[in-house]
Chain A
Amino acid sequence: MTSDTAMPNAEPGSSKASLDHHAPNTTWTRAEATSTGAAVEVIDLHKRYGELDAVKGINLSVAPGETFGFLGPNGAGKSTTIKILCTLVAPTSGLAQVAGYDVVKSRNEVRRRIGLVFQDTTLDDYLTAEENLRFHADLYGVPRKAVKSRLQEVMEMVGLWERRKSEVKTFSGGMKRRLEIGRGLLHAPRVLFLDEPTVGLDPQTRSHIWNYIHELRKREDITIFLTTHYMDEAENCDRIAIIDNGQIVAVDTPEALKASIGKDRVEIQTDSNSDTVNALKSHFGLDATESEGVVAFHVSGGEQFVPRLFSELSLPIRSIRVARPTLDDVFMNYTGRTIRDAESSISERMATNPWMRARSRR
């Protein structure tokens, strides 16, 4: 699969989105910085763990300054892809470039130009916030003269300047995540990778973290590459790639993706959901799915369809809801299931595969 086929037919929304999706046709054999200027460029990327194909031929191109979201259930290949881009895992085949450098051949060049915030905390609890950041500055070779001012800048930005002398073990989960985001920015990276930046945080803290990310986009000339399995968070991105089963099934702006479905989502509750699914198929030729006691289907002109539904369907309907498509619907449209169903089937698959389970802990 190439990014060409992965693109939905809808028009690209923003100018960023339309920027050079077709880069695979250009020459990509050099390891050094390239002239196309994409912040992240991935061509036919594969990663195989033993018998398991974690990534099966991913193509994507992220423009500088773009906020790019990687949306998919756990185990879909998001984390593996991001680890390859961060030089933590070597790809089995294919090409990946970050900030113009090949992630395999120019590992250190890439590392200097990226900031990383992982799902799990990577702070030293016994050090103070400031010591953690100084440590980072030294590891990344931030010029000594710049350290002090830069440290203050990022700590003020994530609202932790007053707490800089506190040991990290006294911090809450949200504060730790903010500190990690600040640390990821300390060495002025070109690309900031956020792997599930809000996972495990309460809704209020999640929205705070997003405020910081938005602030960051305004203030820093930086590309943000994030993974998430929260649909509402994906809405914040300039563009989204939907990844399922190790492949990208769609890439576009959230608006364009939603528009690409072109149909409204109708949810009904009845006394007999399985009969309803059958009746919808036989009467209207609609493919409905049942999930969590609700029958859902997509139809164009949802409001106009409702009267027909009542008059032609003999089954009693208890409730009905018509909604414009959401990213959930987009995900459903491209993968044939909801993200929650996808997650449960993956966790079953992983439970039977001890090797994969061990991997997922990392």
Chain B
Amino acid sequence: MSNDLSAPAQTSTGLVASIPESRIAGGRLRDDFRGISVVWRRELIRFSRNRVRIITALVQPVLFLFVLGTGLSPVLKGGPHGFDFKTFLFPGILGMTVLFTAMFSAVSIVWDREFGFMREMLVAPVRRSALVVGKCAGGATVATLQGAIIILLAGLVGVPYAPVLILTLLGEMALTAFGVTALGVLIAARMSQVESFQFVMQLLVLPMFFLSGAVFPLANLPQWLAVLTRLDPLSYAIAPMRTAVFEHLKVAPSLLKTLEPAITWDGWRVPLGLELGLIAAAAIVLLFAAVAQFSRPE
């Protein structure tokens, strides 16, 4: 700690005297945690204050779940099992909610830059990594909360409100949300204008969503589509959630074969731990990449 530059003269009656110079220091671990926490808190405040955003963000999942789900139900009901397609869809819609909310939250960095607030953060004596971690934690929390609102609808689509199931889903959503936010922050670091967000949605977020198995089973697909779905990281986030839901339902084994909640690699069933491990590893790699992007000198 450097005290070379002595605090204001004792004669000073000004406001400066109220904070001794030596205590304004940053750069310690404690200061980094404070930096992380404040960026996180800001995300939560902005989320909770923007009711319109919370409600509009509910429209899309509800449409998918109840309109698409109900519309496609007769197709499945036509079979011998009488399984509600909405129940199948439910974990996919949780994944979708998390994907879109987390991505939106991360890309708000571009807005921050546009409206100047980014500069307030960048000139502060806080490590850039603390800012990025705080942002990712904030985005993850917000997306998980939005997903939690969808969980409230579980009963309407035949998914039980089992505490273990809810906790499992929340945990898996949080992990996914963290990874998606890190990806979004990494992209936003390179994005100079708000308009580019459209490209990200069309070229990245929508393909990720459609290839993830959120809206259709990943079993019995043609080769080309099967490969693409296995390359989509979001597939490995949706599968554990669907597995968790199916474990709490009584599903006929023959139906499980068609609806196949878990992912297979050339017939080999990918274990749950590996699925979650892949998501966690991707989240960490993306986080480090995002930190590296933000630490570049201007």
* Chain B binds chain A: yes
Listed in ascending order, the chain A residues whose CB lies under 8 Å from chain B are: 32-33, 86-90, 99-101, 108-109, 111-113, 116, 118, 120-127, 131, 134-136, 138-143, 146, 149-150, 153-154, 157, 167, 185, 187-188, 190, 219-222
27 A-B contacts (beta carbon < 8 Å) = A86-B123, A87-B123, A89-B298, A90-B298, A108-B125, A113-B5, A116-B123, A121-B115, A122-B116, A122-B117, A122-B119, A122-B120, A136-B120, A136-B124, A140-B124, A141-B24, A142-B19, A146-B19, A153-B18, A157-B15, A167-B49, A190-B5, A220-B15, A221-B9, A221-B14, A221-B17, A222-B16
Distance A200 CA – B24 CA, assembled complex (angstroms) = 33
Residue in chain B with minimal CB distance to A100: B5
Residue in chain A with minimal CB distance to B117: A124
Are A221's CB and B37's CB within 8 A? no
Contacts of A167 in B (CB 8 A): 49
Are A220's CB and B16's CB within 8 A? yes
Are B5's CB and A149's CB within 8 A? no
Given A33-B2, A118-B116: 7 more A-B contacts, CB < 8 Å: A88-B298, A123-B116, A138-B38, A140-B26, A187-B24, A219-B14, A221-B17
A111-B125, A112-B125 as given contacts; A131 in contact with B45, CB under 8 Å: yes
A88-B298, A150-B19 as given contacts; A135 in contact with B4, CB under 8 Å: no
- B202 beta carbon closer than 8 Å to chain A: no
Of all A-B residue pairs in the complex, the 10 with the closest CB atoms, nearest first, are A33-B4, A139-B124, A138-B38, A122-B116, A111-B125, A122-B120, A220-B14, A141-B26, A188-B19, A108-B125
Residue in chain A with minimal CB distance to B192: A358
Chain B 202-236: CB-based contact to A (< 8 A → 1; otherwise 0): 00000000000000000000000000000000000
- B71 beta carbon closer than 8 Å to chain A: no
Are B119's CB and A118's CB within 8 A? yes
- B273 beta carbon closer than 8 Å to chain A: no
- Nearest Cβ in chain A — how far from B120, in angstroms? 4
Are B16's CB and A139's CB within 8 A? no
- B35 beta carbon closer than 8 Å to chain A: yes
Residue in chain A with minimal CB distance to B32: A141
Are A187's CB and B19's CB within 8 A? yes
Contacts of B49 in A (CB 8 A): 126, 167
Chain A interface secondary structure, helix, strand, loop or mixed?
A: loop
- B272 beta carbon closer than 8 Å to chain A: no
Contacts of B15 in A (CB 8 A): 150, 153-154, 157, 185, 188, 219-220
A32-B4, A88-B123, A120-B116 as given contacts; A140 in contact with B24, CB under 8 Å: yes
Residue in chain A with minimal CB distance to B3: A33
Distance A131 CA – B23 CA, assembled complex (angstroms) = 22
- B50 beta carbon closer than 8 Å to chain A: yes
Contacts of B298 in A (CB 8 A): 88-90
Contacts of A134 in B (CB 8 A): 38
A88-B298, A126-B46, A140-B124 as given contacts; A135 in contact with B115, CB under 8 Å: no
Distance A297 CA – B124 CA, assembled complex (angstroms) = 48
Are A141's CB and B19's CB within 8 A? no
Distance A126 CA – B123 CA, assembled complex (angstroms) = 20
- B31 beta carbon closer than 8 Å to chain A: yes
Are B116's CB and A112's CB within 8 A? no
Distance A141 CA – B17 CA, assembled complex (angstroms) = 16
Distance A121 CA – B24 CA, assembled complex (angstroms) = 24
